[in-house]
């Protein structure tokens, strides 16, 4: 049994014990477990997705306890993460356009490591702007989008 199938079973059990009626599906392309709920999505997602991230953390810990070399996986609930990621990239695109127009660096809203990785990867090959975030131990950091330095 592969790690995603184990993760699906773990997550299905966790949600059942908590009293949530949900269906867990495996998206093999992105190593994402999609949870489809009836009416409890807001309870599972929590404020700004914090509860969803906590559930993801716990499920990953249980799976890695069972399969020590299992890679981490993501959880999405009723496409909340996909919509949030899309909105975040749209905000970054608007900010990058303002940076290109003004030539001044601008900061984005505070983000966790997953969100920062998405933005950094989105702009890694951009010809006009680059991204930077501080190298401290804070959980939430603000990415700076600035004009790319010419070589």
CATH architecture under which domain 3-78 falls: 2-Layer Sandwich (3.30)
Reported CATH class of domain 83-147: alpha beta
For residue range 118-134, list pLDDT tens digits in order.
Answer: 999 999 999 999 999 98
Question: Is the pLDDT assigned to residue 88 strictly greater than 90?
Answer: yes
Task: Report yes or no: 121 and 133 within 8 Å, Cβ to Cβ.
Answer: no
pLDDT over 90 at 113, yes or no? no
Burial class for 21, CB neighbours closer than 10 Å (0-12, 13-18, 19+): exposed
Q: Is the pLDDT of residue 145 over 90?
A: yes
Domain with CATH 3.30.300.20 in the chain: 3-78
Q: Going along 1-151, which residue ranges are E strands?
A: 22-27, 32-37, 74-77, 106-111, 129-132, 141-147
Q: Where in the chain is the domain with CATH 3.30.1370.50?
A: 83-147
Helix boundaries (H) for 40-112: 41-45, 50-66, 80-102
Q: Kindly report, residue by residue over 66-87, the tens digit of the pLDDT.
A: 999 999 999 999 889 989 999 9
What confidence category does residue 30 fall into, taking pLDDT thresholds of 50, 70 and 90? Answer: low
% of the chain beyond a pLDDT of 70: 96
Residue 89 has pLDDT above 70, yes or no: yes
Sheet with strand 74-77: strands edge to edge: 22-27, 32-37, 74-77
């Amino acid at each position: 049994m592969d790690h995603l199938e184990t993760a699906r079973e773990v997550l299905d059990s966790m949600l059942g014990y908590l009293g949530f009626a949900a269906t867990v599906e495996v998206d093999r392309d992105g190593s994402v477990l999609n949870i489809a709920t009836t009416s409890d999505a807001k309870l599972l997602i929590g404020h700004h997705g914090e509860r969803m991230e906590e559930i993801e953390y716990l499920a990953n810990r249980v799976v890695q306890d069972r399969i020590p070399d299992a890679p981490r996986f993501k959880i999405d609930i009723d496409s909340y993460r996909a919509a949030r990621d899309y909105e975040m990239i749209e905000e970054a695109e608007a900010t990058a356009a303002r940076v290109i127009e003004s030539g001044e660096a601008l900061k984005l809203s505070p983000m966790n490591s997953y969100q920062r990785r998405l933005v950094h990867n989105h702009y890694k090959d951009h010809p006009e702007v680059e991204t930077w975030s501080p190298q401290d131990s804070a959980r939430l950091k603000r990415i700076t989008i600035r004009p790319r330095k010419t070589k």
